[in-house]
Chains A and B, each alone.
Chain A
Amino acid sequence: MNLDAKVPGGPLEDKWDRHKKDLRLVSPANKRKFDVIIVGSGLAGASAAASLAELGYNVSCFCFQDSPRRAHSIAAQGGINAAKNYQNDGDSSWRLFHDTIKGGDFRAREGNVYRLAQVSANIIDQCVAQGVPFAREYGGLLANRSFGGAQVSRTFYARGQTGQQLLIGAYQALERQIGKGTVTMYSRHEMLELVVVNGRARGIVARDLVTGEMQSFAAHTVVLGTGGYGNAFYLSTNAKGCNVTAAYRAYKKGAGFANPCFTQIHPTCIPVAGDFQSKLTLMSESLRNDGRVWVPKRAGDTRKPADIPEAERDYYLERKYPSYGNLAPRDIASRAAKEACDDGLGVGPGGRGVFLDFSSAIKRLGEDTIRERYGNLFEMYERITDENPYQTPMRIYPAVHYTMGGLWVDYNLMSNLPGLHVIGEANFSDHGANRLGASALMQGLADGYFILPYTIGDYLAGAKLEAVDTSHQAFRDAETEANARLGKLLAIDGTRSVDSFHKELGHILWEKCGMARDRAGLQEALARIPALRAEFWENVKVPGSAETLNQSLEKAGRVADFLEFGELMCSDALIREESCGGHFRTEYQTEDGEALRDDDRFAHAAVWEYQGENQTPVRHIEPLTFEFVKLATRSYK
């Protein structure tokens, strides 16, 4: 497997600018001769589709929702980072880069991350120009707040609906192109196969989710912006439809899957209420600017929070991490919450919760200011829990949120499979082992607006691509394969629902490959998942037919992929004998319980290569070299 990252040499600050000069161009008259398929319409997919269509490429964009505006990026609440230094607090591209590298526990590529920090400022400008109503100061200038893992205020936001507004900006830019006829939009379509011709990605097979029709689409290059795989855990903050299928099918066709064990657990979610729970709701990390996290000092303290005096509360984040306090990064804050609950200090039903308390902020700033800052989040919390957070502290608990692993890509955002580009959460590139708050939106838009439009031209200008259309045998084969899979699922006619398998898989992954992992647990998961998968293929019940809108069938295909992918995730976690970011192996920790990295053995991206059905995949590595930052123990104390 060729894992040449193609990061340009030379000074960090100049890499991207110099690379842009070296990238080949496609002439305006030739751009329309190139067909580009983009799968996914979130921040990455929609911004890429709009930008490439503006440039003149002939774009087709696919999403499984009824409208591109519903992609899960829309649910991101808190904000988007950009090194604008509008606050005069000493921010710079360098600092954003440094925070991101450190936040990712030194498991991301320096070159990529610096570029992300550089273009972050342009993203804000672009979005403002599109009419994204960012929060403003009374003087009319853009407002900022701070987020976990940063000591400057560089996060731009639109109330608690930042993802929504950024996505709507990109969606409107996309709709503009659809209106002009430069993008053909296929909503309610799901990609089920990647088509590879002569070693290059040349198209996809997608199912029309309304009619059930399997269709082939050919192109000169394929872009996946299909998000993450957090729903492997069943309960997560992801939308119910988020899945790994597109990325996994690409993996099966030869694209390397990097760092699948890196999952971010978000510390501020609403705790699980019962067995019927279908998803977990995240409360924006921005709440930790004003909310103080605490638990009672005494185990089994069932008094109302208001009745517990200050002296009997443990503000554990402020105590353990005085310089970052409640704004400690997500992995650290999550693990600290788990430890408090494991010690019997958890609050609420089942003891799986900690308090996020706004009483001192309300006292200091007044309820109106708090309402202004977080009103919609408070309302949402009250609606779900039936508790009023202005009067009593919120209860929060960590939940699976974002996946840092994904398909391996080089500096040009192309996978090892030529012609397959991967952007946003679907790739592995910029967050290392942990993602800092407000950096996912930044990466999705950086990739789609500012990086891919340059690098895709280089591929198209340089590749000698023969004419391929959907009559090619590779498309026939892929359609046959996809149809056979659906037929097989429908024919099993067993006794267990798809959801019951998904829940069981999720339970295994959460317990054994969640916030903390160890060798024995991972080995157990690696024994249980194949058994569960075998049962799935013998005993799943998928009603209906493939010729109609069939939501059970859609789910079944996705869960079938999660059942394979979950194993890959555990294998990756087992081999990575160190703790870093979202990957915490309990065997590898310092005396005071912090993550213990092993840079000598694991300062690399682990990239898995598929070997065929029931064959052990091969693990390759891309070594990570740190020229510009010193590999240091990550400390937020």
Chain B
Amino acid sequence: MKLTLKVWRQPGPKATGKFVQYSTTADEHMSFLEMLDVVNEELLAKGDEPIAFDHDCREGICGSCALMINGAPHGPRKATTTCQLHMRTFKDGDTIVIEPWRAAAFPVLRDLVVDRTALDRIIAVGGYISAPTGSAQDGNAIPIPKEDSDLAMDAASCIGCGACVAACPNASAMLFTAAKVSHLGRLPQGQPERDRRVLAMVQQMDEEGFGGCTNYGECQEACPKDISVENIARMNRDWVRATLSDRGEAVASAGTG
């Protein structure tokens, strides 16, 4: 199939970017990234620099790939990462617009590559259970109802790609953060730090420059792992609870340590 691509090219973080148009021919069995590989080989043959884009596992799990395709993060197919999107989704003669994630908290590094380390910093302030190596009791000592474990797993399947942020008109990281808060908050092991966790993570989210949630629900639509906005409701409830509890106040006055 013949395709026209309009690709955002930006040589570096401080350089001005622009759309550049390319034509290419793709096979319907190619993944979207394989189509870009072919375009890059063609660019190279012409002496141009290839298009920089993040990718790694190409199995839909590492969360590296991050392309805005025709205005939708990871493209038009629901619950699908860019690397798992195949060209059979498109038609001969299509024009495809390819951009990087757009969010103030995700500065562009080059072309389609953005810096998503803000998401790591949200985890670093509390997105964990403090379980030092070597002191754990037997795994079966805390039975966890299958339903709870399954719901925790639903939330834990977030791949941290940032599509939710890219899709949100406010560039909010609520779905990402809420997925982690839900994953850990659903489990008995996650209870002791539950209040502290939600307060610290929400605060960090704000400090990183992500916007607030105004319930558009675009994040859920864009999420390649079908993470539900119910998690956001859950996080909000936890946040309110934590704010009102003594533990919450203690944390608020003591910082996020």
User: Is residue A149 contacting chain B, with contact meaning CB distance below 8 A?
Assistant: no
List of B residues within 8 angstroms of A102 by Cβ? none
Q: Are B48 and A543 in contact (CB under 8 A)?
A: yes
Q: Are A122 and B50 in contact (CB under 8 A)?
A: no
Q: Are A124 and B139 in contact (CB under 8 A)?
A: yes
Query: Binary interface profile of A, 541-576, with partner B (CB < 8 Å = 1, else 0)?
Result: 101100011011000000000000000000000000
- A84-B144 contact, Cβ under 8 Å, with A135-B149, A179-B125: no
Q: How far is the CB of A43 from chain B (nearest CB, A)?
A: 13
A-B contacts counted at CB < 8 A amount to 217
Q: Are B27 and A276 in contact (CB under 8 A)?
A: yes
Which residue from chain A places its CB closest to the CB of B158 in the assembled complex?
A168
Q: Are A130 and B128 in contact (CB under 8 A)?
A: yes
Docked complex Cα distance between A552 and B143 (Å): 50
List of B residues within 8 angstroms of A630 by Cβ? none
Q: Are A178 and B124 in contact (CB under 8 A)?
A: yes
User: Is residue A233 contacting chain B, with contact meaning CB distance below 8 A?
Assistant: no
The stretch that binds B, out of A139-147, A245-253, A293-301, A525-533, is A139-147
Q: How far is the CB of A565 from chain B (nearest CB, A)?
A: 20
Query: Binary interface profile of A, 268-283, with partner B (CB < 8 Å = 1, else 0)?
Result: 0000011011110110
List of B residues within 8 angstroms of A137 by Cβ? 146
Which residue from chain B places its CB closest to the CB of A210 in the assembled complex?
B109
Q: Which of A86, A126, A164, A273 contacts B157 (CB 8 A)?
A: A164
The stretch that binds B, out of A68-76, A107-115, A199-207, A481-489, is A68-76
User: Is residue B104 contacting chain A, with contact meaning CB distance below 8 A?
Assistant: no
Q: Are A140 and B143 in contact (CB under 8 A)?
A: yes
- A129-B29 contact, Cβ under 8 Å, with A240-B58, A276-B38: no
List of B residues within 8 angstroms of A215 by Cβ? none
Docked complex Cα distance between A66 and B48 (Å): 25
Q: Are B189 and A131 in contact (CB under 8 A)?
A: yes
Which of chain B's residues 85-132 have a Cβ closer than 8 Å to chain A? 86, 88, 109-110, 113, 115-117, 119-120, 123-132
The stretch that binds B, out of A24-32, A379-387, A418-426, A510-518, is A379-387
Q: How far is the CB of A149 from chain B (nearest CB, A)?
A: 23
Q: Which of B58, B113, B143 contacts A279 (CB 8 A)?
A: B58
Q: Are A543 and B49 in contact (CB under 8 A)?
A: yes
Q: Are A128 and B49 in contact (CB under 8 A)?
A: no
- A274-B27 contact, Cβ under 8 Å, with A67-B160, A543-B50: yes
User: Is residue B246 contacting chain A, with contact meaning CB distance below 8 A?
Assistant: no
User: Is residue A453 contacting chain B, with contact meaning CB distance below 8 A?
Assistant: yes
- A173-B131 contact, Cβ under 8 Å, with A67-B120, A179-B124: yes
Which residue from chain A places its CB closest to the CB of B161 in the assembled complex?
A70
Q: Are B56 and A70 in contact (CB under 8 A)?
A: yes
User: Is residue B133 contacting chain A, with contact meaning CB distance below 8 A?
Assistant: yes
- A541-B44 contact, Cβ under 8 Å, with A126-B131, A141-B140: yes
List of B residues within 8 angstroms of A124 by Cβ? 139
Q: Are A65 and B56 in contact (CB under 8 A)?
A: yes
User: Is residue B6 contacting chain A, with contact meaning CB distance below 8 A?
Assistant: no
- A125-B139 contact, Cβ under 8 Å, with A72-B57, A541-B44: yes
Q: Are B33 and A278 in contact (CB under 8 A)?
A: yes
List of B residues within 8 angstroms of A499 by Cβ? 37, 41
User: Is residue B64 contacting chain A, with contact meaning CB distance below 8 A?
Assistant: yes
Q: Are B86 and A383 in contact (CB under 8 A)?
A: yes
In which size bucket is the chain B interface?
A: 35 or more
Docked complex Cα distance between A273 and B142 (Å): 46
Which of chain B's residues 1-42 have a Cβ closer than 8 Å to chain A? 11-13, 27, 29-31, 33-34, 37-38, 41
List of A residues within 8 angstroms of B64 by Cβ? 65-66, 70
In which size bucket is the chain A interface?
A: 35 or more
User: Is residue A158 contacting chain B, with contact meaning CB distance below 8 A?
Assistant: yes
Which of chain B's residues 198-230 have a Cβ closer than 8 Å to chain A? none
List of A residues within 8 angstroms of B115 by Cβ? 66, 210
Q: How far is the CB of B201 from chain A (nearest CB, A)?
A: 11
List of A residues within 8 angstroms of B140 by Cβ? 86, 141-142
Docked complex Cα distance between A560 and B13 (Å): 29
List of B residues within 8 angstroms of A158 by Cβ? 153, 156
List of B residues within 8 angstroms of A282 by Cβ? 59
Which residue from chain B places its CB closest to the CB of A238 in the assembled complex?
B57
Q: Which of A130, A140, A179 contacts B131 (CB 8 A)?
A: A130
Docked complex Cα distance between A239 and B65 (Å): 12
Query: Binary interface profile of A, 163-174, with partner B (CB < 8 Å = 1, else 0)?
Result: 111001001110
Docked complex Cα distance between A380 and B60 (Å): 9
List of B residues within 8 angstroms of A277 by Cβ? 34
List of B residues within 8 angstroms of A544 by Cβ? 49
Query: Binary interface profile of A, 52-72, with partner B (CB < 8 Å = 1, else 0)?
Result: 001000000000011111101
Which of chain A's residues 367-402 have a Cβ closer than 8 Å to chain B? 380, 383-384, 386
List of B residues within 8 angstroms of A159 by Cβ? 153, 157
Q: Give residues in B with beta carbon < 8 Å to A.
A: 11-13, 27, 29-31, 33-34, 37-38, 41, 44-45, 47-50, 52, 54-64, 80, 84, 86, 88, 109-110, 113, 115-117, 119-120, 123-140, 142-146, 149-150, 152-153, 156-157, 159-160, 183-184, 187, 189-190
**8 A-B pairs with least C-beta separation:** A140-B143, A179-B124, A172-B128, A129-B136, A125-B136, A129-B131, A128-B139, A133-B153
Q: Give residues in A with beta carbon < 8 Å to B.
A: 47, 50-51, 54, 65-70, 72, 74-75, 84, 86, 122, 124-131, 133-142, 158-159, 161, 163-165, 168, 171-173, 175-176, 178-179, 185, 187, 210, 239-241, 273-274, 276-279, 281-282, 380, 383-384, 386, 449-450, 453, 497, 499-500, 541, 543-544, 548-549, 551-552
Given contact pairs A142-B139, A185-B120, A543-B47, a sample of 12 additional A-B residue pairs in the complex whose CB atoms are under 8 Å apart:
A69-B160, A74-B61, A74-B62, A130-B131, A131-B184, A134-B139, A136-B149, A173-B133, A239-B57, A276-B34, A383-B80, A383-B86
A-B contact pairs, 18 of them (CB 8 A): A65-B62, A67-B116, A67-B160, A74-B62, A86-B140, A122-B136, A129-B129, A140-B143, A161-B61, A178-B120, A210-B109, A278-B34, A279-B59, A380-B60, A499-B37, A543-B48, A543-B49, A548-B110
